[in-house]
Amino acid sequence: MAELSRRKMLVSGGALGTLGALGMAAPAHARSLMNWTWAPSGSVAGSGAGADPRWVWDEEADPLVASLLGRGAVPEVNRLLWGWERNDQPLPAGLSQDLREFIDKARQLPAWADRDKLETAARFNKTRGLYLNLLNGVGGGMLSTAIPKEARAVYYSKGGADMEDRVAKTSILGFAVGAPNAYRPDGSCMVEAVKTRLVHAAVRHLLRQSPHWPGEIPISQNDMLVTWHTLPTFAMRRMRDWKVPVTGAESAAYLHVWQVTADLLGIKDEYIPATWDAAYSQADQVLPPAMGPTREGVELTDILLGQLAEQTSPGSIGRPLCNALARYLVGDEVADWDGIRREPVWDPAVSAAWPALVKFREGLIPLPLVPEAAWVLDEAARRYILFYLTKGKETKIEMPTVNRPAG
């Protein structure tokens, strides 16, 4: 597969999350499908045990959140954390000591985080927001539904019953990663990443109680890596395909902001690629065996593309155009797995028009004020999408207490 990678959001930047990394337990024969050979020497840690990430989860968050669910504390925790929004904001009073200690540790940037690179990434996100929102949102969303473990996990967890709300909450993390102030004191990326990490732990605990779950623990480190590669790795590969001019400093910085985000989401440093070459190598190992068609993925794709069509161009043109755009982004194989219809008119039109649009846009980028104007338009689009998905109601990332209702 030439264009494998993914993530779930909608037309928002970054992160089904990045909510993202939701995985369904693999069938018994899956252990034989992939031998973990990626060397930890290629990671930001530079070393590690080399354990297969399919059988590694989150030993810090998982027992904590299981305890919170067991003692019925999650609704109150969600209420207390509702107003916790800024990176520099103190935690609210009333949190239990174990949760407070976990969050205080989890919200810290790793020692290897580079503030200069994070600022360069913020500027890059500003000038390339159109591509990144499209790739991390629409492209990532279509790839995510072609990952059976993730599609089933999304479908059978609480969020699967209300995909607009699910996508909106996923988009919150994506917006935070792509924001100019993502890791500044007044930004929110550290907060949203930690909240997402708590959500993952809750879903791990709850999904194993679902009659639709085969019993193994979902959202392994491997599942999170698969999701991660459908965001920055997929986006960078496609921008290279489109010949978007990206400097070495911009490329390194864009990777770095996602490396830091991976750490805050609970991915172990020994699994986080240190370079793009290491990322491509890891992606080529973990993505192909993770992808394929499912009934749940087809159903989720239909919902997501229906939402996108209604947001962008309501009417008879909207859905065929969105189908063609999605197919162009992820390729025929993934599109067929997702049940995306072929569009005889729009498929060739999008394939011909997009490269021309990229060339035109890149010719304008160096002009004064164009990056700022591009950011204003991209930000307006993001705010509109989030408003649409939430129907104007304030939405926050919260831990679930139940799975998808039966029926």
| pLDDT tens, residue by residue, 124-152 | 998 888 888 888 888 888 999 999 998 88
User: Does residue 10 form part of some domain?
Assistant: no
201-215, 279-293, 342-356, 372-386: which has the minimum mean pLDDT?
372-386
Domain membership of residue 35 (yes or no) is no
- The mean pLDDT of 203-230, rounded to a whole number, is 91
Mean pLDDT value across residues 156-184: 80
**Residue 7 pLDDT more than 80?**
no
In angstroms, how far is CA 134 from the centroid of its own chain? 13
Higher pLDDT, 37 or 353: 37
In this prediction, residue 115 carries a pLDDT of 97
Listed ranges 33-37, 75-79, 326-330; the one with the highest mean pLDDT? 75-79
- How far apart CA 35 and CA 70 sit, in angstroms, is 36
Mean pLDDT on 365-384: 52
d(CA 72, CA 69): 5
Look at the block and give the residue holding tokens 């499912």.
294
Residue 204 reports pLDDT greater than 80: yes
Domain that holds residue 341: 52-390
pLDDT of residue 386: 47
- Whether 188 is covered by a domain: the verdict is yes
382-407 pLDDT, tens digit per residue, is 554 444 444 555 678 999 999 988 74
pLDDT at residue 60 above 70? yes
Q: Output the pLDDT for position 16.
A: 30
Report the pLDDT value the prediction gives residue 91, as an integer from 0 to 100: 98
What integer best gives the mean pLDDT of the chain? 83
Specify whether the CB–CB gap between 109 and 183 falls below 8 A.
yes
Query: Is 167 within the bounds of a domain?
Result: yes
> In the numeric block, which tokens belong to residue 125?
């996100």
Look at 7-16, 104-113, 220-229 and tell me which has the smallest mean pLDDT: 7-16
% of the chain beyond a pLDDT of 70: 80
172 inside domain = yes
Percentage of the chain exceeding pLDDT 90: 56
- pLDDT given for residue 369 in this prediction: 54
Query: Does residue 363 lie in a domain region?
Result: yes
Tokens of 41: 């020497």
For residue 310, pLDDT beyond 50: yes
Q: Please tell me the least confidently modeled range out of 63-72, 120-129, 233-242, 391-400.
A: 391-400
Res 300: pLDDT: 87
What is the Cα–Cα distance from 392 to 104, expressed in whole angstroms? 32
Distance CA 307, CA 164 (A): 8
- Counting Cβ atoms within 10 Å, is residue 247 exposed (0-12), middle (13-18) or buried (19+)? exposed
Q: Which of 189, 355, 313, 336 is nearest to 263 (CA)?
A: 189
- In degrees and rounded to multiples of 5, residue 43 shows phi and psi of -95, 170
Give the model's pLDDT for residue 367.
Answer: 59
355 part of a folded domain: yes
- Residue 116: the pLDDT is 98
**pLDDT score recorded for residue 404:** 84
- The verdict on residue 33 lying in a domain is no
- pLDDT for position 365: 60
CA contacts within 13 A on the Cβ side of 147:
37
Closest CA to 231 of 78, 9, 382: 9
Total domain count for the chain?
Answer: 1
Report which residue type is found at 289: P
